[in-house]
Amino acid sequence: MNTLTLDELRAWPSGKTGHVVLLGRPNTGKSTLVNTLLDYHLAAVSQKPQTTRRNCLGILTDENSQIVFIDAPGVHEPQHQLDKAMDHAISRALEEADVIVCIADPTRDQGDESLMVATRAAATRKPTILVVNKNDVANEEGMKRAETFFRVHLPEAALFRVSALKKDTLQPLVAAIVELLPEGPFLFDPEQLTDAFERDIASELIREALLESLRDEVPHAMAVSVDVWKEKPKAVHITATLHVERQSQKGIVIGQGGSMIKKVKSKAITKLRTIIDKPIRLDLFVKVTSDWRNRGDMLRDFGLAER
C-alpha cells in the first residue's frame, strides 16, 4: 500500500462504506450485476454455471459512498478441490461482508442450491437484501415462487426485483445497500474500480472466450494462466497458457487445423480490447496439466486457492 502524506490523509474521502457480498447459486447474474454497475468488463460472465472461481472486488464510488462488492463464486455442492476452494472463498466473503445481497434466479426452480444460499445468508445474522434478478425475462409466477422460497429464511430482508443487464433498475438497490453500510473512511482510492490486476482480468476474459466457444464440460476442465505481459510503446504482447486436464481435451481446444484456437483467440482479443487501449498481440498455448482441479499446488499457482 502507498504511504499517504498528512495532507492526502486529511483529504481522504469518507462516507458510507463497506463490503457487500453477492451471494447466489451459479448463473444467477452476480458478475453481470457488478459489470453493469461499474460500466466495465471486470468479471467473466457466461451462460454456463460456475463461471466465477475466485472472489473479485468491484468498487462503486460516488461523492458520499463507496460500496466494495465482492463478486463471489456461485454456491454449489463441492466435487473437486477447486469447488472446495471456491466454497472457502464464499465463506471468507461472508465473514468480511457488512451487507449480504442474496441473488435469486426466478427463471429456474429453487432447489438445494437456493436452500444453501438462503441458510448461509441467514446464519450470518448480517443485514441482508434479497434481489430477484432477470425480471426482464422472468414471469410473475417464477418471481413470486423465488420470493416465497427465500422469505422463509430471510423474513426481514428488503426485496428488489431487478435486471442486472439494465442499470436503471439497479439504482433503488444501490440506495438500499448504502443505507445499510457503516460510516467511515473510504477503503480504496475513489478512482479504483477493482483489486484485481489487469492480467488477472485478462485471464478471466480469455476464459470467458473459452466458455463461449467450447461445449459441455471442456471449459470447466480448463484454467488460464497469463505467463507474459509486455507493455511495448505501441502494443501489448500477452502470452497465455490454456490448461486442460486430458490429451483428448487438448485436441478439442485446438480444433481441426487449429480452427477452434483461432476462434478463441479472436474472441479473446475482442474482449481484451475493452480493457486495453493499445493494439494487442495474443499468443495462446494449450497444455495438459493432469487433474489440476484436484491439485493444491496448481490451484495456488492459478490464484484459485490460498497460499
Is 257 strand, coil or helix? helix
Q: Assess contact for 51 and 44: CB atoms under 8 A.
A: yes
Beta carbon nearer to ligand GTP, 86 or 286:
86
State the residues that interact with Mg ion by CB under 5 A.
30-31, 51-52
For residue 234, the minimal CB distance to Mg ion (Å) is 34
219 binds, among Mg ion, ligand GTP, none (CB under 5 to 8 A by kind): none
Three-state DSSP class for residue 178: helix
Question: Cell 492526502 appears where?
Answer: 8
The grid cell for 286 is: 494449450
Cβ 155 to ligand GTP shortest distance, Å: 24
Q: How far is the CB of 236 from ligand GTP (least distance, A)?
A: 26
Q: Which does 36 bind (CB under 5 to 8 A by kind): Mg ion, ligand GTP, none?
A: none
Q: Which does 289 bind (CB under 5 to 8 A by kind): Mg ion, ligand GTP, none?
A: none
Q: Which residues bind ligand GTP (CB under 6 A)?
A: 24, 26-32, 45-47, 49-52, 73-74, 133-134, 136-137, 163-165
- Smallest gap from residue 182 Cβ to Mg ion (A): 26
Query: Taking Cα atoms as reference points, which of 208, 285, 277 lies closest to residue 244?
Result: 285
Q: How far is CA 209 from CA 50, 89, 203, 204, in A?
A: 15, 24, 10, 9
Q: Are 44 and 34 in contact (CB under 8 A)?
A: no
Q: Would you say 132 or 305 has its CB closer to ligand GTP?
A: 132
Return the one option of ligand GTP, Mg ion, none that residue 50 interacts with (CB less than 5 to 8 A, by type): ligand GTP
CA 22 to chain centre: 9
